């Protein structure tokens, strides 16, 4: 008899727990799917974290990204994370068991820590047996249906943004000065397959050692409104005034170089990150096919033809089949700009680096070579090489050394701080000595904006396929 009386309080307690589990009084223990830090909102970083977990990429654990509690983040749960980010008012919820559901240490403790564990079904049924977006909604009134105008905009708004190459204090805080090799860090990843970057900016030409690149270059982009829901923006680099670069000295040659924009450029920006903007360029200085029809006499056999022109064929491929992962940032981008490059012996009085002179091309100076090229900047990785694309037995008509550039990697745009690291690599034909060659550059930048949109257009953009291969015939 005494045993039966002692069981009654337990039965009442079970009934109370079951009632609490099945009523809408649980919001204190239900959070938005993907709210890893429990601050009642899902940030873009947390949404990206859900994507990384689903793809089995390195990412911090996040129990509330696993809505059904099966120990894995699946595509449906990634969609729930993104919905939580886009519209917190209708975010799908996930139930996290409260501390009161742990087994009691003894029968003498207060009820709040004494409850017996409820059956497994009471901890999940209220949130897995109903549609995701309405699992915690009360029957009346019904929540408003989300509309295109109620969802928050993409992380980057339309407008004009300026990317400015900066010196090391803004990017490599506490690191080495400009002109010194980077130490291992998120902003300065250290040597990459023989390419040693410098804080601020680096440039490698031909087979020479990389050298510091001066700060101050700019790319101005008119960024259009994003397509939804992928948040990908078209961008235009207006001409003139969209691209500027400082003149620089190539220490190994003792020559000064200028790079000048010759036409408008275009690009893509993914303000959620995740587009595939890997760039691979293959160069051929002689194309005897009908594709470009740029044959070079005497190449081969025999020595390079003296005075060979600067024509070349470039096959550029965007994407390697793996979407970019923005670690430490939230947006990735690619932009292509046509330029004209002039290299000269600076005979003017002055001390412009190791080249001497005044660093400006003027009457006393002697042109060494000049050529057109197209610069392709990306926040992902890039590489270039020379190859006989058309199988005419020749891929290098000039004296070189052509070299080739191994893969170098940029860094995604971190929207809150406005920092981004861009990379570019490619080949070029040349009319002087050394002749045809290649380059690779890695630049640390600050992005400012948006200013008022220009609604710029580009009638004759460089040939590029942002999700495949395009061929450029440079005459």
What tokens appear for 215 in the block? Answer: 């700060």
Encoded tokens for 342: 């002039």
- Are the CB atoms for 257 and 361 separated by under 8 Å? no
On the question of pLDDT at 370 being above 90, the answer is no
Q: Looking at per-residue confidence, does 302 or 413 come out higher? A: 413
Cβ contacts of 220 within 8 Å, gap of 6 or more = 160, 161, 162, 163, 237, 238, 241, 242, 243
pLDDT at 273: 83
DSSP state of 310: -
What is d(CA 308, CA 369) in angstroms, rounded to the nearest whole number?
11
Q: Which two tokens stand for residue 460?
A: 């004759």
| Residue 33 clears pLDDT 60, i.e. is over it | yes
The predicted model gives 92-104 an average pLDDT of 55
Check residue 410 and give its pLDDT: 86
Cα(256)–Cα(357) distance, rounded to whole angstroms? 9
Predicted pLDDT at 136:
39
Q: How far is CA 275 from the centre of its chain?
A: 8
427 bridge partner residues: 438
Q: How far is Cα 102 from Cα 438, in angstroms, rounded to an integer?
A: 65
* Rounded Cα distance, 44 and 53, in Å: 14
Of 293, 273, 316, 308, nearest to 434 by C-alpha is 308
* Per-residue pLDDT, 319: 95
- The residue that leads in pLDDT, 61 or 152, is 61
What is the pLDDT averaged over residues 179-195? Answer: 43
For the ranges 195-204, 243-252, 296-305, the maximum mean pLDDT occurs at: 243-252
pLDDT band at 187 (very low <50, low <70, confident <90, very high): very low
Q: Which of 1-15, 147-161, 204-218, 304-318 has the highest mean pLDDT?
A: 204-218
The mean per-residue pLDDT over the stretch 362-381 comes to 91
List all residues 6 or more positions away from 127 whose beta carbon is below 8 Å from its beta carbon. 30, 67, 93, 94, 95, 135, 136
Summarize the confidence of residues 359-365 as an average pLDDT: 89
CA distance 163 to 194: 27
Of 317, 410, 424, 431, the closest CA to residue 377 belongs to 424
Core vs surface per residue 174-186: b (16+ CB within 10 A) or e: ebeebbeebeeee
* pLDDT tier at 197, thresholds 50, 70, 90: very low
| Of 28-32, 111-115, 375-379, 380-384, the least confident | 111-115
For residues 269 and 371, which has the higher predicted lDDT (pLDDT)? Answer: 269
Tens of pLDDT, residue by residue over 388-411, are 888 877 776 655 556 667 788 888
Q: What is the mean pLDDT of the chain?
A: 74
CA-nearest of 223, 259, 225, 257 to 238 is 223
Q: What is the per-residue pLDDT for 125?
A: 25
- Number of residues assigned to the chain: 475
Which two tokens mark 442? 């890695």
């Amino acid at each position: 008899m005494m045993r039966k009386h002692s069981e009654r309080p337990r039965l009442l307690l079970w009934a109370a727990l079951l009632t609490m589990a099945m009523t809408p009084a649980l919001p204190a223990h239900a959070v938005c799917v993907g709210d890893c830090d429990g601050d009642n909102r899902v940030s873009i970083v947390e949404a990206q974290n859900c994507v990384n977990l689903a793809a089995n990429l390195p990412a911090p654990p996040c129990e509330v990204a696993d809505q059904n509690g099966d120990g894995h983040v699946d595509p449906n749960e990634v969609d729930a994370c993104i919905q939580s980010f886009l519209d917190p008012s209708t975010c799908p919820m996930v139930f996290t068991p409260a501390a009161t559901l742990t087994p009691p240490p003894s029968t003498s403790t207060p009820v709040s820590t004494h409850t017996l564990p409820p059956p497994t079904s009471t901890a999940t049924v209220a949130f897995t047996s109903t549609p995701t977006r309405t699992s915690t909604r009360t029957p009346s009134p019904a929540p408003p249906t989300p509309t295109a105008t109620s969802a928050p905009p993409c992380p980057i708004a339309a407008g004009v943004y300026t990317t400015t190459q900066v010196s090391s204090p803004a990017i490599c805080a506490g690191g080495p000065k400009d002109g010194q090799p980077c130490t291992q860090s998120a902003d300065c990843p250290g040597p990459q397959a023989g390419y040693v970057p410098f804080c601020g900016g680096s440039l490698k030409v031909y087979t020479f050692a990389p050298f510091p690149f001066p700060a101050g270059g700019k790319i101005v982009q008119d960024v259009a409104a994003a397509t939804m829901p992928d948040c990908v923006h078209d961008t235009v680099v207006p001409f003139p005034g969209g691209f500027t670069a400082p003149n620089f000295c190539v220490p190994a040659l003792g020559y000064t170089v200028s790079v000048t924009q010759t036409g408008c450029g275009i690009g893509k920006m993914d303000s959620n990150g995740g587009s595939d903007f890997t760039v691979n360029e293959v160069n051929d200085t002689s194309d005897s096919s009908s594709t470009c029809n740029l044959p070079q006499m005497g190449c081969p056999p025999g020595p390079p033809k003296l005075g060979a022109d600067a024509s070349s064929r470039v096959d550029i491929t965007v994407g390697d089949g793996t979407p970019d992962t923005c670690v430490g940032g939230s947006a990735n981008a690619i932009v292509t700009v046509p330029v004209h490059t002039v290299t000269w012996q600076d005979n003017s009085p002055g001390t412009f680096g190791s080249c001497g002179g005044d660093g400006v091309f003027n009457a006393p100076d002697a042109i060494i070579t000049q050529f057109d090229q197209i610069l392709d900047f990306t926040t992902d990785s890039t590489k270039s090489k020379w190859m006989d694309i058309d199988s005419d037995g020749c891929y290098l008509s000039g004296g070189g050394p052509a070299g080739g550039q191994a893969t170098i990697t940029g860094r995604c745009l971190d929207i809150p701080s406005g920092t981004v690291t861009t990379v570019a690599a490619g080949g070029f034909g040349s009319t002087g000595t050394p002749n045809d060659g290649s380059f690779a550059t890695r630049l640390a930048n600050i992005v400012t904006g948006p200013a008022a949109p220009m609604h710029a257009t580009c009638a004759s953009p460089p040939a590029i396929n942002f999700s495949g291969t395009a061929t450029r015939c440079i005459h």
